């Protein structure tokens, strides 16, 4: 199954966190498909590097552009709206960013790798939380 890497994972890989890199390597043995990122993770990553020195921005851009970015579309919006409606009806408020990541993962039948414990609440989402 193809993987989607969440922003939290991207940050740790870029920081060369060996623990996370080793865990991703183990996950890839069972899920050797393509590693991709969502539109929101790409955006969050770009926002996070805005204050860096230009040379560090260049390195970060070289890193992030190695990952294909999933496009959002009408189907993504439908899934996101359904998730938001259903979880708010249960009294659970989730951020639009998390819901967009979940919607893109669900839509593409992929496995999300994240460190975000808040995503545990989305039952429809195939995920590994490190």
CB 128, CB 112: distance < 8 Å: yes
- pTM, whole model, 2 decimals? 0.93
Instruction: Judge whether residue 85 has pLDDT over 90.
Output: yes
Q: What are phi and psi of 85, to 5 degrees?
A: -60, -50
pLDDT tens digits along 91-120: 999 999 999 999 999 999 999 999 999 999
Q: How far apart are CA 10 and CA 1, in angstroms?
A: 19
pLDDT of residue 33: 85
Residue 71, classified by CB atoms within 10 Å of its CB into exposed (0-12), middle (13-18) or buried (19+), is: exposed
Give the chain's count of helices (H) and strands (E): 6, 4
Q: What is the mean pLDDT of residues 37-56?
A: 96
Q: What DSSP designation does 117 have?
A: G
pLDDT of residue 102: 97
Q: Provide the mean pLDDT of the chain.
A: 96
Which domains, and CATH codes, for the chain?
3-129 (3.40.50.1010)
């Amino acid at each position: 199954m193809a993987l989607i890497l969440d922003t939290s994972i991207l940050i740790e890989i870029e920081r060369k966190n060996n623990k996370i890199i080793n865990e991703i390597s183990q996950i890839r043995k069972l899920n050797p498909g393509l590693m991709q990122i969502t539109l929101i993770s790409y955006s969050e990553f770009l926002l996070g590097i805005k204050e860096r020195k230009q040379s560090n921005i260049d390195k970060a851009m070289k890193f992030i552009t190695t990952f294909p970015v999933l496009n959002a579309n009408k189907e993504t919006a439908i899934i996101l709206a359904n998730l938001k409606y259903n979880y708010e009806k249960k009294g659970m408020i989730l951020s639009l960013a998390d819901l967009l990541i979940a919607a893109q993962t669900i839509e593409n039948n992929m496995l999300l790798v994240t460190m975000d414990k808040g995503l545990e609440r989305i039952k429809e989402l195939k995920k590994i939380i490190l």
